[in-house]
Structure formats: structure tokens, C-alpha cells
Structure 1
Amino acid sequence: MDSEEIALVVHMHLASKKKKKRRYWVHPMIMERRVTSLFHTLYPRIKEDEGKFFNFARMSLTTFEELLHILTDNLTRQDTNMRASIKPEYKIICTLRYLATGCSMTDLHYSYALGRSTIGVIVKEVCQEIWSCMKDMCIPQPTEENWLNIAAGFDRKANFPHCLGAIDGKHIRVIQPKQSGSLYYNYKKFFSIVLLAVCDADYMFTYVHIGLYGRTNDSSIFKQTQLYKRMVDGTLRIPVPAQISRTVNEIVPFLFIGDEAFGLSENMLRPYGGRNLSQKKKIFNYRLSRSRRYIECSFGILANKWRILHRPIDVDIELAEDIVKACCILHNFVRKRDSYKFEDAITTPDLPILERDNTSRGNHRALAVRDIFADYFINEEGELKWQYDMI
């Protein structure tokens, strides 16, 4: 086959793959139903009832109006001769229902009289704007004052001093990305991306990292985050070490608490390993677990409010990451304004935890810090009367 024949074959192949000419700019059925969609019929009536609106949008009307005010400028588009643009309020409500119910984009296509591809574009656009416009407001960069306030919250509510936050990671189910092989296939034998988060004693996320491969070695997930890198290089603005109480003379660093998936270090505490533990070590593990439950509860509130996280997210991996980011931002945004709703945590979400890592023992200083806490939890000042009944 000479060069001319090769060129002809290539030309014919490319011609066969040309995009099919659109039959309609907007399908007539969609245009006919646009005025009878949920946004134009049910939504105005729901806005008149505060309780119904909260159930519909997963936030109060006041909070929604603030969200709309923040995003309107970035979501507004110009009308054209071809069609009128979709209003920002329409886009946001459509996206919130997708995140809140976990329904498919095809369901929204029929309910809101928008094209299936248009729904996908809207969800991506709104999720990206939520992250870019609201990240600094909802998950601000920590300062030393912020860390001290968080530590005071854990000391007051969980009786755990010097705690900068509870940390954990969860596998978010996704449909296998194209041409990804086993990169996203985790030890639980399904495809996922990893959400690693830190929370305070008010169930607010203070740090999130989203998008690591599901098959990533769980003991190294934390080490790939900016939080770890800044903790190691000293730029995280962690307060200087201090005494944890008047009866403990040792200077103790401020630190994060996690489970066995995280390596022990001076700024990271994990439980004692093994089975035949002394009473002191069992008490420490109980107190650590009691404080670490804040991150478990935070994940529970997150997934039960934004139920897209209850099922495998069936979009491309970039949009899946945008969706998880938007859910985390909305979690903080709504919680700060509307507080806690009991129905948010009625069910336990299926968000598998990270695989346990029993290889990292920590250096001598880290081991000593853990022992100081263990001793404090059984002395007269630091003990809780009921803790001995829990082991």
C-alpha cells in the first residue's frame, strides 16, 4: 500500500468518525415540558414551606439564598439567538437534588426538562464553582489561633487535650474509569477514590484531600497530602508544645489523632497495637477511639445529607472528584448555618475505611509522647469515671 492509499484510508476513517450533525439544538419535547418541570411547578410551592424546603434542598431557605448570592455571578450566562440561558437558581437546585438524592442524571433529565448532556455540564459547572468560590470561606487555611480553638474544643467535648483534629480516610465508590486498569481497584475489591479528611469537635472538616487512587498503599496515603508535607516541614503553624495539665510536667506537642492506618509520629497519635494490652494502654485506646469518632460521625453526616455518596458515582473520574469536593464544602457551609439535623445521621453510610497498617511503630519521641497521654488518662486529673467500664 503506497502513501496515497494510506492517506485515503486515514481520510475515510476520520470522515466516518465525524460528529453526527445535531438534529435539534434543544429537543422539542424538552422545550414543551420546560414550563411544566419541577422547577416551575413544585419548586415555587416548596419554597413557601421551610420544612419541605430543607428536605428538598438539604439546607434552609436562608442558607440557600446565601449560596445563590455567592454563585450567581459565576453561573450567569448570556442569552443567545439560539436559546435563552439557564438561570443560576435552576442550575443550583438541579445540582443540589443530584447530590442530595443520588438519583441519576437521566432522572433529572425528565424531572427538570433539561438535556442529559446539559445536566452533566450543569453539575460539573456548579460543583467546580462551589469549590473555587467557597473553599477559602468554608475550609480556611489554619492559623495558630484556629489550632488552639480546635484543641480547646476537643479538650472540652472529648476530654482529649492538645488534639488538633481527628483524621481518617474513606473509599468513595466510583464506576471503573476507562483505561485505568486496576489503579482504582482497592483492597475491598471495588473501584474507588480516597477522601482523606480532618475534622474538629463540631464535625466540621478542617482539611480534605480527594482523588488518590483506590489501590494506593493505605500507609502512604497520608504522606502524599499537603497536610503531611506541611506538618513535616514546619509550615502548618502548629502551636508550640506545652504542658497538657498542671500535674504533667512534660512538654507535649499538639497533634492529630487517627487509627491504625496512620503512622505514629510526634504530631500523630494512633492506638497501641496488640491484644494482650495493659489496663493503661486499653484506657488510652478507648480515649483515643472516643475522640476519633468525631471524624466517623462527620463522614456519616456528610454521606446521609449528600446521598450521592451512598452509591457508586457513575461519571468520569474528574467529575467524581468535583462532586466529592462540593459535598465537603456544602457540609461545612450548611452545618455552620443550619447546625445539626437528627435525620442526617439516622443511617450509617457504606464508606469503607482505609486498610489498617501495623508496620509503623514510630520513633522513640513519638512513643514517649503516647505514653505521656496514657499516663495522664489514668491519673486523678485526666481520668473519666466511666472509662474503666468501657474496656
Structure 2
Amino acid sequence: MAQGTYIRVHVDSVEKPRYRTRKNEIATNVLGVCTPDMQFIYVLPGWEGSAADGRVLRDAINRRHGLKVPQEFYYLCDVGYTNGEGFLTPYRGQRYHLNEWRQGRQLATPQEYFNMKHSQARNLIKRCFGILKKRWGILRETSFYLVRTQCRIISACCLLYNFIRNELPTDPIKSGVGKVCSVEDDKEDSGEVIRHVDTSVTWTAWRDNLAQEIFKTWMSSRNM
């Protein structure tokens, strides 16, 4: 799962327009990627709050020690990203957030069912960021370190988050909320990885087929 989050930072006045988010906060746009067991496997802090999520992702996969996405694998992303090879986004214009189904509305189309299952799975990265910010107060408030130092603090907090998850059987903060690694080593990639994030007819068709398949499976199970 991959998602961006904003963490407030302190910058010089001349830099504030670039770091200003749509909510008028001065923040860095942090890309985070986690595994199904809620471990951070990649974090990229430092981008200005005004930067689009898609731009941050493109930078991440083009860095020498950036995010590695092997061919035939993909991450779940929100609609702020491009639905392209290696990055699976929900359908636009369809219900998505889990609370929209908790109101008793029925699923009617493959696209709606796909969006619901996508939202359930991608909720893990939201929980990761929620726990991270709840545990480390320095990530909830604006600090007065230089931006470069603040970005190192963000990465360090993610590393400690992973360490605690590995070493602490029961995490009290996790219950309250419902190895960050940039894969930075000098080894060559052992296989082909995705280098571009672009829409394609093939990927769109693959998502449509997946939506149809899981919807049919769900309908069949209901009729048994």
C-alpha cells in the first residue's frame, strides 16, 4: 500500500509558498509504502506540500536507491496517483470510503465492490501513519529544525516504528488507533522493475477484469 501524508515543517518565509498545502498548512508531502503486516518498507520525506502525489511517486521510482516495484507486482494507491502498471487505484466517480457502506447502501456494480475491497485493504497504510503520528509528538507539531534535519527525524521515527512493531508483542498505541527502508544498498536489481508510472489500455483492462472477477465471486457466494 502506498500513500502520501502531510507533516508540518518549519521553513524560511521565501520557501513557504512551495510548502503550503491545499489546507493552507506549511508541510512536507511524505510518501509512505507499507506491507500487509503494517511495516514501512519505503519512506520519502522532503517534497514540498504543494507537490502532487503523482510527482512524488515518480521521483521515488526514478531515484537510484528509490522505490522498487518488480514486474507483475503492484501497490494499492489512492486516486491521487495514476492507475498504471505497478500502482492500482480505485475507480473515480464511485463510492470509495468505508463509511459510505456503513450507512446501509447496497453494492450494485463491479466498480463499487472493487472500490470497497480496495479501501479495506489500503486502510492499513492510513493506520500506519495514524500510529506513527500518535506515537511521535514531534510529527504532530511544527518543529524549528532545518528541513533536512526534520526529514531525517521523520525517517528515524519510521525506523523506530518498525522496530517497536517487531519487538513489542502488543502495541498499546495500535489498539488505540484501530524497517523504514529506502532499499538503499549497492546491489544491482535482481529482476526487471517498473521505471515509469503511466496509464495504459492494458492496465485499465486488467483492472476491469479483476473488478468483474471478484464481483462475480462475491455474487456467487451470496447466492449459495
TM-score by length of 2: 0.75
CA distance in 1, matches of 2:174, 2:91: 32
1:173, 1:193 within 8 Å by CA — same for their partners in 2?
Answer: yes
Q: Does 1:186 align with 2:16?
A: no
What percentage of residue pairs aligned between the two structures are identical? 26
Q: Does 1:229 align with 2:62?
A: yes
Distance 1:383 1:269, change over 3 A: farther
Corresponding residue of 2:75: 256
2:127, 2:177 within 8 Å by CA — same for their partners in 1?
Answer: no
Q: Structure 1 stretches of 5 or more lacking a match?
A: 1-165, 241-252, 349-359, 387-391
CA distance in 2, matches of 1:385, 1:291: 20
CA apart distance, 1:191:
0.4
Q: Which has the higher contact order (CA 8 A, sep 6+)?
A: 2
Corresponding residue of 1:289: 119
The correspondence of residues 119-268 of structure 1 with structure 2, limited to 5 A, is 166-225=1-60, 228-229=61-62, 236=68, 238=70, 253-268=72-87
Q: Between Structure 1 and Structure 2, whose CA radius of gyration is higher?
A: 1
CA distance in 2, matches of 1:289, 1:385: 21
2:131, 2:177 within 8 Å by CA — same for their partners in 1?
Answer: no
**Structure with the bigger percentage of helix:** 1
CA apart distance, 1:170:
0.3
CA distance in 1, matches of 2:50, 2:213: 38
What is the number of equivalent residue pairs in this alignment? 191
RMSD of aligned alpha carbons: 2.8
Q: Structure 2 stretches of 5 or more lacking a match?
A: 96-106, 179-196
Which of 122, 131, 135 pairs up with 1:301?
131
Which of 191, 213, 216 pairs up with 1:379?
216
CA distance in 2, matches of 1:384, 1:313: 54
2:18, 2:50 within 8 Å by CA — same for their partners in 1?
Answer: yes
**Structure with the bigger percentage of strand:** 2
CA apart distance, 1:296:
0.5
TM-score by length of 1: 0.45
Corresponding residue of 2:204: 367
Instruction: Say which is worse superposed, 368-377 or 321-330, in terms of deviation.
Output: 368-377
SS of 2:160 mapped into structure 1: helix
CA distance in 1, matches of 2:93, 2:52: 22
1:263, 1:270 within 8 Å by CA — same for their partners in 2?
Answer: yes
Q: Does 1:319 align with 2:167?
A: no
1:173, 1:190 within 8 Å by CA — same for their partners in 2?
Answer: yes
SS of 2:216 mapped into structure 1: coil
Distance 1:309 1:385, change over 3 A: farther
Corresponding residue of 1:74: none
